[in-house]
Each structure stands twice: as C-alpha cells, then as structure tokens.
Amino acid sequence: MNRGIVTALSAIGIAQGLKVFTHQRKTGNWSWKPIFQTGGMPSSHSAGVSSLASYIAANKGTTSIDTALAVVFGAIVMYDAQGIRRHTGEIAELVNDIDEDIEVISDDFPSLRHEKQEEELKELLGHQPAEVAGGAVLGILLGVISAGLEN
C-alpha cells in the first residue's frame, strides 16, 4: 500500500484517539465520543495533511512539485478548519440558543406558535487556531518519523 496514504490515515486516527485524552483533561470526564466527532484538540484534518506533506518533503525534497501540492492543499484544509467550519459552528450555537429563547417566550405568549427543533444543530464543527496548530505539529512529527522508518 502507498506509504503516504498509510501515514496520513494513521495521523488522522492517532489525532482522533488523542481527543479522548484532551477531552478528559478539559472536562474531567472520560468519553469515547470525541473519537467520532469533528472539532477538538488536536485537529485530525491538520494532522493528516501535515503528515502527508512532511512525509513527501522528507522523501522527495522541499523543492519537488509533490511537496508543493501537498503543502498548498494542506494549507487550504487547515485554513478551512479554523475559518469557515469554525464560524459555521459558532452560528449553529447561536441558532440553538435562539430556538431555546423562543421556546421560553412562547410559553408566556400562547399566540406565538413555536415548534422546537427535534435535534440541535451540531456546534463543534471547526477548530480553534491552537487545535489546528496542535494537529499540524503532531502530523509533521508523524510524517518525518514515517519517512525515517521507511529509509
């Protein structure tokens, strides 16, 4: 199998597994749920793309077109994770709060009809910059280690 793919997928899996420990440290509660959720520390998206880019750079050199492609597309993924996806999660949080507020108000005003959402919108979609940076550092380390073990 392609070593670059294995490296990137392994970095994603390791980052998702580490979320159990960072979640416990942040909340004091042990839970397996973070393994299957988006968002959180470290970013598995960042870990995956940075491990692939560093693996390619270690094998093909920093001047290769392969490295350039991996770095540029990796930067786009990481920018998206901490930008658009994070803001979407913040908007979802506001919508969920508004829905709760309208439900409370509608109790006081029976003429105001309100149907509660069956499920809240998912709020943890993107990453804070530190989560993206943490994933990137993890990915770079794993990419370099993978290239070193191969050579």
Model confidence over 53-112: pLDDT tens digits?
Answer: 999 999 999 999 999 999 999 999 888 887 776 677 677 778 777 777 777 777 777 777
Percent of the chain with pLDDT over 90: 44
CA 38 – CA 30 distance, rounded (Å): 17
**Residue 124: what pLDDT?**
60
Average pLDDT of the residues in 17-33: 85
Count of alpha carbons within 13 Å of 89, Cβ hemisphere only? 18
CA 136 – CA 79 distance, rounded (Å): 12
Sequence-separated (6 or more) residues with CB below 8 Å from residue 113:
106
Amino acid at 42: P
CB–CB of 56/70 below 8 Å? Answer: yes
For the record, the structure tokens of 135 come out as: 């994933």
Sequence-separated (6 or more) residues with CB below 8 Å from residue 130:
41
**Residue 121: what pLDDT?**
62
